[in-house]
A = this chain, B = another copy of it.
């Protein structure tokens, strides 16, 4: 993928609550986000809607972006209402406008018609491209032995539930490692991750039997070029909606270490009237499940303390989590990722 320096992010109708990719692109993306495009435009700037974000203009359509950009990133889930849903007219309009202006359009979801004749013609005329950064690997799964290790240190973020920060923790870890001068790379596994550091794999587009294969391929390829890989985990081994994903990632990535992510105070499984297993039970389960294929251990923990009011209470919650975990822990978003980085063997 061509490297983009300045981009606009499409988030029609959904910024900020349902436009996670837009937010993470602003926070962690390499290219500078010069505008968020949203027909709803709940505020003129992002920082008024999400206080931890910098002040970036929100405009109603691509033609209102008043600085030149290299690309339009589609930062919402176009397949939310089914993989064959049609693009809404505002999305079509802005994709057309971006291509007509000679820019690229970057997407990572089922739901985008990659061979739309109008888009293809506009791309050909303008010199831009439609880039799909989250496509599943082609062909049949490999079944040969892949027991051999890669040189890079490989970490995988795993959760105690859905929505506990497996993605954010991976993003923070990579950013913090780079700040320390470590040659780190994300192995993106979500819609959001591939927009940040694509090309990669958007797991929601991969059939179950291919997850191990998809992550294995990326780990091998990037493991040759970097010293630290952080595989963006998705969900929890006991959550029905994500257990299959994380299981495939665990066996496919063959990580040297796991970072267990949890949300302070979370007791019931997301969407289920079921108690979350204890932290030690989770550590045990992840390690047992990995052991037959590639033994690994939980080396650190990341606690999301967003719902904890004061910093001192958050510190206390982190300490308590570390104790139950039997490993160092932090809230990488609220504090910093030092405790995680210190736990990594970068020999």
- A: which residues have CB within 8 A of B? 80-82, 138-141, 143-147, 203-209, 211-213, 216, 234, 237-245, 247-248, 250-252, 269-277, 281, 284-285, 288-289, 291-293
Contacts and interface: CB of A to CB of B under 8 A. Distances in A.
28 contacts: A80-B140, A82-B139, A82-B140, A146-B240, A203-B208, A204-B208, A204-B209, A206-B207, A211-B244, A212-B243, A213-B241, A216-B240, A239-B251, A240-B252, A240-B293, A243-B244, A243-B247, A243-B251, A244-B244, A244-B245, A244-B247, A269-B292, A272-B293, A274-B292, A276-B292, A277-B291, A281-B292, A288-B288
* Copies of this chain held together in the complex: 2
A243 to B, nearest CB: 4
Given A237-B289, A244-B244, 17 more contacts: A82-B140, A143-B241, A147-B274, A204-B208, A206-B208, A207-B208, A208-B244, A208-B248, A212-B244, A238-B292, A240-B251, A240-B293, A244-B248, A272-B293, A276-B292, A277-B292, A285-B288
Contacts of A146: 240, 272
A95 B221 CA distance: 41
Contact of A145 (B80, B273, B285): B273
Nearest to A277: B292
Contacts of A270: 143
Contacts of A145: 271-273
A81 B244 contact: no
A149 to B, nearest CB: 13
A251 B208 CA distance: 14
A279 to B, nearest CB: 13
Contacts of A234: 209
A212 to B, nearest CB: 4
B293 A289 contact: no
Contacts of A242: 209
A282 to B, nearest CB: 9
Contacts of A80: 140
A288 B203 CA distance: 25
Contact of A203 (B207, B216, B243): B207
Contacts of A212: 240-241, 243-244
A138 B82 contact: yes
A248 B238 contact: no
A81 B140 contact: yes
Nearest to A211: B244
Given A82-B139, A138-B82, A244 B209 contact: yes
A238 B291 CA distance: 9
Contacts of A239: 251
Which of A138, A247, A250, A289 is the most central at the interface, judged by chain B CB atoms within 10 Å of its CB? A247
Contact of A238 (B141, B207, B213, B289): B289
A132 B159 CA distance: 36
Given A208-B206, A272-B293, A288-B285, A241 B141 contact: yes
Which 7 A-B residue pairs are closest in the complex by CB-CB distance? A244-B248, A240-B251, A212-B240, A244-B244, A143-B271, A247-B247, A238-B292
